[in-house]
Every structure is written in C-alpha cells, then in structure tokens.
Amino acid sequence: MTNLQNTSLKAKIKRPKDKCLYFLIYFCAALTVVLLAGIIIYVVVRGIGQVNWEFLTTVTSVLQGTVGIAGNIVNTLMIVIITMLIVTPVGVGAAIYLNEYAKPGKLVTAIEFATETLSGIPSIIFGLFGMMFFGQTLGLGYSILTGSLTLVLMVLPLVTRNTQEALKTVPDSYRHGAVGLGAGKWYTIRTILLPSAMPGIITGVILAIGRIVGESAALLFTAGSAKLLPKSFMGIFEKIFQSGGTLTNQLYLSATSEGDFETAFGIAVVLLILVLLINFGTKRLSAKFDLTRKK
Amino acid sequence: MNRKAKKNPVEITAKNIVRICAVIAIFAVCSITIYMIAEGTPALAKVGVPELLFGTEWMPTAENPSYGILYIILSSIVGTALSVAIGVPIALLTAVFLTDIANKKLAAVVQPAVELLAAIPSVIYGLLGMMILNPLMYKLEKIIFAGSETHQFTGGSNMLSAIIVLAIMILPTVVNVSVSSIKAVSNNLRGASLALGASKIQTIFKVVLPAAKSGILTGVVLGIGRALGEAMAINMVAGGSVNLPLPFNSVRFLTTQLVSEMSYAEGLHREVLFTVGLVLFVFIMIINLILQRMRKRAVEND
C-alpha cells in the first residue's frame, strides 16, 4: 500500500519539464567527462607513437636526421626552476606580511587589490609587458631569464593566495603559545607557522609549476623559441641569458608555421603526462593536508 | 616583552623584507599599467583615434597603410559573448549536477574531470581544434556556401571554431565558482522548498540557483575575462584575416592579433599593435573592477 502511494506520489512530482531538465543536467555533466576523455584519448592515440627515447633525448636536426625535443624539455625545466626560485620566497613573504604583520588599512587594501588584479590579467599582456620591461628596458632580450621574470609576476598571486590560505588554517593557539613562551614574531613564523603551513605552501608551488608548464602566450615574446641543448655544463648558466622555447611554444610552432603535426602531438602527449602528474600531486598533497588538519 | 621584540634587529629586518615582498604586487600592477598606456597611446595620436578604433581596414604593410581595428574589437566582443552564452549554461548544469544531483561516486568522476580540463595547456586545445573542429567546419562551410561567389573559403579556420574552443576552455572556471556558491546555499532553504511540495528540479531552479545568483554571476564575469584574454588556442583555430565577426569568417581577435603579428611588426605597425594591447588591457581592467566590486558586495552581505 505504502509502496503504491510512493510511486503515485513520485509520478506526480516528476513532471515532463523536470524530466527534461534532469536529462539536460546529466547530459552536461557527461559532456564534461566525455570532452576530457576524448581529449586525452585523441592526443595519446595520435602522439604516443612519436614519443620514444630519441624524441625525448635529442634535438631536431636535419643533419643528424633526428627529431627530438630535449632542448625544449631543458628550457621548460630551467624556466620552471628559475621562476619558482624567485616567486616562492616573494609570494610566501607577501602572504606572511598580509596575514601576520599587516594591520587592516590602505596598504593592505592596495596589496589585496593589486594581487587580485594581477591574477586577472591575461598572459598575453604579461608577455607584452615582459618583452618591453625585462626584454628592452632592462636589456635582457629574448631569454630564459626574461621569460622567468615575466612568469614570476604571473604566478605570484597563486603562490601568495595559497600561502595565505594555509597560514589562516594554523590555529591562533599556536601563535599565542609561542608568544607566551617568549618567542619573537619572526621566530614564531619561522619555526611554528611556516612548518605548519608547509603542505598548503607546497600545493601552491605545485599549482604554479603546472601553470608555468602549460603557459605559452606569455613566453612567446619573452623567452623566444630556440631549441638547442646547452653545449656543456657551464653552458646551462649561459643559457639563462639566451633564448629558449618551451614545450608549449614548440608545440605551437610545430603545429602552425612548421606544419609538423607528428612532433606537435608528441609534445602534446608529454605535456599531458606532466599536467596529469602535477594534478595528482596536488590532489594527494591537499588530501594529506586535510587529514592533518582534522587531527 | 613586546618592546624587546621590536628592538631585535632580526625581527625588524624580517618585517621589512616581507613588507617589500608584499608591495611588489603593487609595483607590478602599476608598472604594467604605465607601460601599457605609454606604449599604446602614441599610435592613437599618430593614426587618429576615430581612424584607429573605428576604422575597418587593416592593411599595415600596404603602401598606404591603414590601421583600423574595429573588426578586431568586434570579433573579441562577439566571440567572448557567444562562447559565454554557450559555456555558461553547460557549466551551470554541470555545477548543479555536482552539488545537488550526483551521488558521491558520480561526483568523484565529474569533479576531477572538470579540474583536469582546467589544467590542460591552451596549445593542446588549439591543436585539437585544428585537427578536429576545423575539418568539420570546412565540411559545413562547403555545404552552406556551395555555389556562393562572395564567400571567402577559410578551410574551416573560423569564428565558430574559436567560439567552441573558448566555450570549452571557460567551462572549468564557471563550474568551480558556481559549485562553491551553490554549496554555500543553506540546506534549510532546500528543505523548506521540498516540504512545500516542490520537486527537486523546481527547488534547484527556483530556490537554490536564485539564492546562489551573486556567486554564479562572479563565475560568469570570470569566464568573460578568461575568454577575452585567451590567445594561443584561438589563434590556432580562428584563421588569420581581419574580418567582420560572422560565424564562417576567418577572424582576428585582440589577443590573436598580438600573437601573430608582434614577431615581425615594425615602426607604426608595432605601435598600433601596442594600442591593440591597450584596448585589451582596458577591457580586462573594467572586468577586474566589476569582479572586485561584486566580491566586496558579497563579503558585505555575509
């Protein structure tokens, strides 16, 4: 009896319009998943045949008959490392100031406004600015350093924001406890707050790395497109001041002006793998972070 | 105690260093603004504001060069508007799915998918657009414009491809912001609506979404900013000529104009490109200001 009533009630509630909307909702959610799956499968099917040891360890050369992206891998790595070396201390420092030192006022409002604005500026504008300011005004030209400095500005909000969030989750009792024991503010930050906030900070850093690996527009006019490997160990340091195209920009050039879609898909596979790894990395970290917070 | 801490040189240096770190963001925004204005305005004066902003002829390398960027501005506006019009409903329904419809297992599939879509580099979207969308568009183009003598065939690199790519690229942004604002809607509201006899769908569309309106709007504005600023992906699929923003025309956007011509432009041509950059920058700053005002209001309402 109750069963019957239930079904009749359900039938009344599920009007045709409802069914339609249910269908649309499921359809859109499915679309998102299918899109992602389609992108991954298509790229892997088209590109995986291209990815082999030679592709990853040599440089494209007509003379030696090799097709490879080793130079672009090195350039990408260098840009990631240099950018993160600069942006991590600056971003963490800014977050520490905003969270631990600053009192609400005009300066804080201005800093928050600026950070917010920076995160809304599109990468092509960063590219233009980097080209003009770092490249021409500071005379660094098309170089890995110019590209890195440009990216520092671009990912600064990401690092600052994540560190701020992480610092906010550190309980105030830690701060009071440390001060009560006679520790100075900086001492507290260095020994108590930063270690507690470390997982959140690292998450921000990894997210920033992901952003850099996928970035192209900001680097096109700042880091250039050279793809040769540094000739010697010392060459790596010279390379900082020389042009260097990242994986993304080589993909762009391969697909457009060079018309070499094999290489483009090969790079796309490498990029996808990197991006997936970075994503899982942040996922695992933030899961771990939540766990320690709950304790 | 406090006084002693203040006198400690390490403490003072540390405070000053982190303050400098924080102020760097302000310097960055100021210098970007100054550079964009300083580089973008000379061409406005040289070419003339109406000729530049409202001119429709773009022939920078001709003997009598003309630098009208009206079609470029229009393409950016139309492209952004249409991609948002397509992307936002899909994103919104996906967000509703995640918050109110899906069980944990389904959500655990869709949520990471949305996150990964956001992580895929834009050049990969561009590459796939070139390989999948453009040939498809070319087939459509051949059917629709069969026998037309005025239509310039584009091989499928057109406005429509760019709009589809943009719509996909803004999905994750709008989904994420909408999800967090829908989640913030109190369950009491949902319960009250269900108790009054509304169906789940009615509750979602007549109670939950209106309650989450301001957050969703923030997501939409963020999406507009993303679409307007995207450069590489649409540069690969939208073709390369300055045209009226019609669906099957090959078009240039503010961003793609910069990507494709900056490398070889010289003299006045280059200066005009900086004006294009300035126009884009002004649009983005307006969107940024709207966003910040919306966020501020949201905080005040809490």
pLDDT in tens, A153-186: 999 999 999 999 999 989 999 999 998 998 888 9
The reply to whether A26 and A119 lie within a common domain is no
Q: How many Å apart are CA B256 and CA B218, to the nearest integer?
A: 26
SS3 B192: helix
pLDDT at residue B302, as a whole number: 65
Exposed (0-12), middle (13-18) or buried (19+): which is A65, by Cβ within 10 Å?
exposed
- Domain-located, residue A254: yes
Lowest mean pLDDT among A191-195, A282-286, B158-162: A282-286
The reply to whether A208 and A285 lie within a common domain is yes
pLDDT at residue A253, as a whole number: 92
Q: Are B277 and B257 in contact (CB under 8 A)?
A: no
pLDDT at residue A289, as a whole number: 66
The reply to whether A36 and A93 lie within a common domain is no
Lowest mean pLDDT among A81-95, A97-111, B103-117, B148-162: B148-162
CA separation (Å) from B225 to A122, A139, B76, B84, B280?
A: 8, 31, 11, 10, 10
Tell me the average pLDDT across A36-41: 95
**Domain spans in chain B, listed from the N-terminal domain onward:** 46-301
pLDDT at residue A14, as a whole number: 62
Out of A13, A35, A94, name the one closest to residue B22 (CB): A94
State the pLDDT confidence band at A2, using cuts at 50, 70 and 90: very low
pLDDT at residue A231, as a whole number: 76
Q: How many Å apart are CA B238 and CA B231, to the nearest integer?
A: 10
The reply to whether A148 and A257 lie within a common domain is yes
- Domain-located, residue A263: yes
Which segments within B33-188 are labelled E, that is strand? 58-59, 66-67
The reply to whether A35 and A159 lie within a common domain is no
The DSSP secondary-structure symbol of B29 reads H
The reply to whether A33 and A105 lie within a common domain is no
Q: Are B207 and B189 in contact (CB under 8 A)?
A: yes
The reply to whether A110 and A190 lie within a common domain is yes
Q: How many Å apart are CA A67 and CA B239, to the nearest integer?
A: 28
pLDDT at residue A163, as a whole number: 94
Lowest mean pLDDT among A36-40, A134-138, A247-251, B5-9: B5-9
The reply to whether A167 and A27 lie within a common domain is no
**Which pTM does this prediction carry?**
0.90
Hey, are the CB atoms on B19 and A97 less than 8 Å from each other? yes
By percentage, how much of chain B surpasses pLDDT 90? 69
Residue bearing the bigger pLDDT, B5 or B88: B88
Residue A208 has pLDDT above 80, yes or no: yes
Residue bearing the bigger pLDDT, A208 or A290: A208
Most distant CA pair in chain B, distance: 88
By percentage, how much of chain A surpasses pLDDT 90? 61
pLDDT at residue A295, as a whole number: 41
**B120 contacts on A by Cβ (under 8 Å):** 39, 214, 272, 275
pLDDT at residue A4, as a whole number: 45
Q: Are B273 and B261 in contact (CB under 8 A)?
A: yes
Tell me the average pLDDT across A84-93: 96
Task: Give the CATH number for residue A193.
Answer: 1.10.3720.10
**B20 contacts on A by Cβ (under 8 Å):** 93
Q: Which structural domain range is residue A192 located in?
A: 69-294
Amino acid present at A274? L
Hey, are the CB atoms on B236 and A256 less than 8 Å from each other? yes
State the pLDDT confidence band at B110, using cuts at 50, 70 and 90: very high
Tell me the average pLDDT across B238-245: 86
Q: Nearest residue of B to residue A86 by CA position?
A: B21
> Domains in chain A: how many in total?
2
Hey, are the CB atoms on A35 and B25 less than 8 Å from each other? no
Sequence-distant (6+) residues with CB within 8 A of A265 are: A43, A46, A47, A50, B127
Q: Nearest residue of B to residue A212 by CA position?
A: B121
Hey, are the CB atoms on B25 and A157 less than 8 Å from each other? yes
* Inter-residue long-range contacts of A229-234, CB under 8 Å, 24+ positions, other chains counted: A229/A59, A229/A70, A229/A71, A229/A74, A230/A74
> Six-digit token pair at B194?
């269900």
**A156 contacts on B by Cβ (under 8 Å):** 24-25, 28
pLDDT at residue A1, as a whole number: 41
Exposed (0-12), middle (13-18) or buried (19+): which is B97, by Cβ within 10 Å?
buried
Tell me the average pLDDT across B169-195: 94
**Looking at domain B46-301, which CATH architecture does it have?**
Orthogonal Bundle (1.10)
Q: What is the 3-state secondary structure (H, E, C) of chain A?
A: CHHHHHHHHHHHHCCHHHHHHHHHHHHHHHHHHHHHHHHHHHHHHHHHHHCCHHHHHCEEECCCCEEEEHHHHHHHHHHHHHHHHHHHHHHHHHHHHHHHHCCCCHHHHHHHHHHHHHHHCCHHHHHHHHHHHHHHHCCCCCCHHHHHHHHHHHHHHHHHHHHHHHHHHCCHHHHHHHHHCCCCHHHHHHHHHHHHHHHHHHHHHHHHHHHHHHCCHHHHCCCCCCCCCCCCHHHHHHHCCCCCCCHHHHHHHHHCCCCCHHHHHHHHHHHHHHHHHHHHHHHHHHHHHHHHHHC
Q: How many Å apart are CA A71 and CA A60, to the nearest integer?
A: 9
Tell me the average pLDDT across B208-237: 94
Task: Please write the tens of the pLDDT for every residue from A185-194.
Answer: 899 999 899 9
The reply to whether A123 and A20 lie within a common domain is no
Strand partners, B59: B66
Give just the sign of the alpha carbon dihedral A49, A50, A56, A62: positive
The reply to whether A41 and A103 lie within a common domain is no
Nearest partner of A198 among A239, A166, A231, judged by Cα: A166
pLDDT at residue B267, as a whole number: 87
Tokens 């540094």, located at residue: A230
pLDDT at residue B20, as a whole number: 94
